[in-house]
Amino acid sequence: MDSKKYVSEINSTENLETLGELEIKYLGRNGLINDLLSKIKDIPNEEKKAYGQKINELKTSMYRYIADKKKELQSKKSNVFFDKTLPGKSYPKGSIHIVSYAIEEITKIFEKIDFIRVSYPEVDWEYGAFESLNMPANHPARDDVETSFIDTPAHSTLGKMVLTPHTSNGQNREMKRVGKPPIRMINISKCYRPNWDPTHTPMFHQFEGLCVDPNISIVNLKGTLDHFAEKYFGKGTKTRLRPHHFQFTEPSFEVDISCNNCHGTAKVDGNKCRVCKSGWLELGGCGMVHPNVLKEGGIDSKKYSGWAFGFGIERVIMMKYGLDDIRNYYSGDIRFLEQF
């Protein structure tokens, strides 16, 4: 083998890719060096030793030349001009799920007015989900078509085990945890009800507000709701209260917010608003905490009063972004999730 030829080939190489090809050509399993070694069987016995030594010297020198050339090319490559101000390549990236993002937003809104974020069990006894909230044994919400019961033996005093149908089960626990007001709680958790349609899923999220202190009134409730509506839905959003009935509040109200699409006018370009039809959208329920609920939580209802509300997180997202099917949140459809 002509050593001058391979030295010339290696020295004239201008990039690492070509050098790698030469390395395979000369030193690979089917390369020229192994080809020369395979021919040793045809060499006369008295010449085999000298032949083998010559091939080994050639192999050693070839390794050295390739290694030196590789260092040279690598050094040149590292000195290539690089403009770090040029824009980089754009790679696909994930994002926070729309429900998780809403939970963060809501938490920060209430933290700024001194509400403490708490978390209570998603699996509870009937007492926590119903009795502690002034809901008697014959209340319709306790039917198995409204509540998911767990197939396990009932507790002797607390009743059957359930998947919590609302975050209101945190009210009694928070009163007992704090002991003495003031209480300012925001409880965000998963809830479960056996429903499945465009506005309901078997599992959903709620956020529960509870405020207990001396002289707490509906004025404080309305002010808090106005604060939340403006911060979450946008400046200028209004709230209104409509009389309603809930077992755990008295008086009780349904909360509406002004429609962002028509700004509460019920009309867009002279036509009836297709989002709200009336200028208002229903947000959820609220009211002054029932004295029986305060008493069950160990709070003196003659000395203290309080308010509570419970809203669905999926619902407030739908209202904010104009979505029409709650099931999209959990479909896993990347086309939907990438919009947020």
Give the per-residue pLDDT at 296: 93
Residue 94 in any domain: the answer is: no
In this structure, are residues 171 and 248 in contact, taking their beta carbons and an 8 Å threshold? yes
What is the domain extent for residue 261?
Answer: 100-337
Residue 83 in any domain: the answer is: no
**146 and 267 share one domain:** yes
- Domain total in the chain: 2
Give the per-residue pLDDT at 22: 80
Residue 18 in any domain: the answer is: yes
Q: Where are the beta strands (DSSP E) in the chain?
A: 116-118, 123-125, 148-149, 161-163, 183-192, 203-213, 239-246, 249-258, 267-268, 271-272, 280-289, 305-312
> How many Å apart are CA 208 and CA 299, to the nearest integer?
19
> How many Å apart are CA 105 and CA 109, to the nearest integer?
6
pLDDT in tens, 64-114: 888 888 888 777 665 556 667 778 788 777 788 899 999 999 999 999 999
> How many Å apart are CA 19 and CA 40, to the nearest integer?
28
**150 and 7 share one domain:** no
Q: What is the CATH number of the domain that holds 211?
A: 3.30.930.10
Residue 122 in any domain: the answer is: yes
**284 and 155 share one domain:** yes
pTM: 0.68
Q: Percentage of the chain with pLDDT > 70?
A: 94
